[in-house]
Structures are given as structure tokens and as C-alpha cells.
Amino acid sequence: MSSTRIEAVIFDWGGTLTRWHDVDFHAESVALAQAVRTTPSPDDDHHAHAERLHRAGDVIWGRSRDHQQSSTIADLFVEAGLDHDPDLLRAYYDFWEPHTLTDPEVGPMWEELRAAGVKVGVLSNTIWPRAWHVGFFERDGVYDLVDGDVYSSEIPWTKPSPRAFAAAMDAVGVSDPAACVYVGDRLFDDVWGAHNAGLRAIHVPLSSIPAAQVGHTEGEPDASVTSLLEIPGIVRTWSRA
């Protein structure tokens, strides 16, 4: 194993920095449909809009899985053939908000990494805007511990594209992928993707990944943890090797 000192640890968000939650995706689409811009008409069917948005979600996440093509909330409505008002996304935001709580282990773990001189980064596959993610971290009092964060909604690519990992490395100011570790809950996006980009990978195997979101290859992690608090010790060991 390389003796390169670890300079940065970059983290996935959902299912890694937050605890995994099973989600009712039909209920998600119903909440999202409240943002459809309509005129009073007998043809306006909220549940029909929700079904179109649900199918559109499958399409855009399929693009992410198969082509590493990123999307935004606006792209989701375009795919569904529906106009939307961003000011009406409150029901959708409120649906997701209970699932966004930062794991209580994140703050102490990030503080330990930074005390050791290791930078902390975030790289998330998401259609949500940066402001939402930053707001969640600020709400939970940990954003000041982040050295750089990248959300796929603001770049053209998603994990496992090496270009997504390169964007995250740029954000934390580290150029050597061998000096970086990626931590995530998905063996395709996070582990295989990190290795393909030249990073080491730590797997957090606590999520129930839906079959439709599993990619073509399952990577073999360099380490697995069931507690985020294990990560600084692993990083220290790798830096001494």
C-alpha cells in the first residue's frame, strides 16, 4: 500500500453523513407535484402530475447511473413535460427535511480529521440546489468544518465519473488522488467510482440501496466502517503505512 500521506477525506451525503431512510417515492412525487404551475382547468390532475414526475425521476436517475449525467429539479419537471414554480417547492422540501439530519457522529469525526491536518470535503449526487445542502449543514452546526463541497446539481457529471471526483478534489485543494479518501454507502457510485478516479474508498454498509439504483460494478472497499468515528483512525493508519 502506498505511503502517501492522506490530505483529504471526501464524503458522500445521503446514507453516509445522514442515516439511511427508506422513502415513499410516490409520496415524494405527490409533494413535488404541488409545485406544478397550472391554470384552473378540468384537465389539471394532481395525481397524474405526480405519476409523470415519478416516471421522470426514474429517467433522470437512470441517466446518472448509466451515463453519469447530472440533473436539477428543473430538469425533472422538463422531463415530465410540466412547468413549475420554484417558489412552490415548499411541500417537496418539507417532505424531505426529516431525512436530512446530519449523523451526530459527523461533527466530532470531522473535528478529529481537521485537528490532524486532514481536509474535509463533500461530493453528493443530488438534484437539489447547493443552498439546500449548505442549509442542512448550517442547521446542524457542521458547515464550518467543511473545506470544500460539490453537488452534482451544479456540475455536468455525477458519481462515478472521475470528473465528479476531480471537482471535489479541486474544491478541497488537493491535486493527488492517492492523497484522498472517499467515504460512501454505495459500492458502485462511491467505492468503484473512487477507485476508478484513483482515490481510496471507505464503505459505510448501512444503506438499503434500491435495485434500480445499483450500477454495473460493485467495488471492493479498502475499509468498511459501521461508525463514522472509526474513520480518523483508519486515515491515521494509512498515512503512517
Give the predicted TM-score (pTM) of the model.
0.92
State the chain's maximal CA–CA distance in angstroms: 68
Q: What is the CATH number of the domain that holds 146?
A: 3.40.50.1000
d(Cα 220, Cα 144) in Å, to the nearest integer? 32
C-alpha cell at 34: 404541488
**Within a domain: 3:** no
User: Are residues 177 and 126 part of one domain?
Assistant: yes
What residues are paired with 183 via a beta bridge? 11, 202
Give the pLDDT score at 1.
Answer: 44
> Which residue among 44, 78, 98 closes a domain?
98
Where among 98, 130, 158 does a domain terminate? 98
Q: Are 93 and 105 part of one and the same domain?
A: no
Q: Last residue of a domain, which of 62, 83, 98?
A: 98
C-alpha cell at 161: 465519473
Cα 178 to Cα 192: distance, rounded to the nearest angstrom: 15
Question: CB–CB of 130/151 below 8 Å?
Answer: yes
> Does residue 2 sit within a domain?
no
Give a yes or no: residue 47 inside a domain.
yes
- pLDDT values of the chain reduced to their tens digit, one per residue, 241 residues: 446 899 999 999 999 999 887 777 788 899 999 999 875 544 557 789 999 999 999 999 999 989 999 999 999 999 999 999 999 999 999 999 999 999 999 999 999 999 999 999 999 999 999 999 999 999 999 999 999 999 999 999 999 999 999 999 999 999 999 999 999 999 999 999 999 999 999 999 986 677 676 778 788 999 999 999 999 999 999 997 6
Domains of the chain: total: 2
pLDDT at 52: 93
Q: With contact defined as beta carbons under 8 Å apart, do 143 and 137 qualify?
A: yes
pLDDT of amino acid 85 = 92
pLDDT of residue 43: 54
Domain that residue 184 falls in: 8-19+101-240
In a domain, 85, yes or no: yes
Q: Do residues 131 and 13 share a domain?
A: yes
Is omega for the bond preceding 205 within 30 degrees of 0, making it cis? no
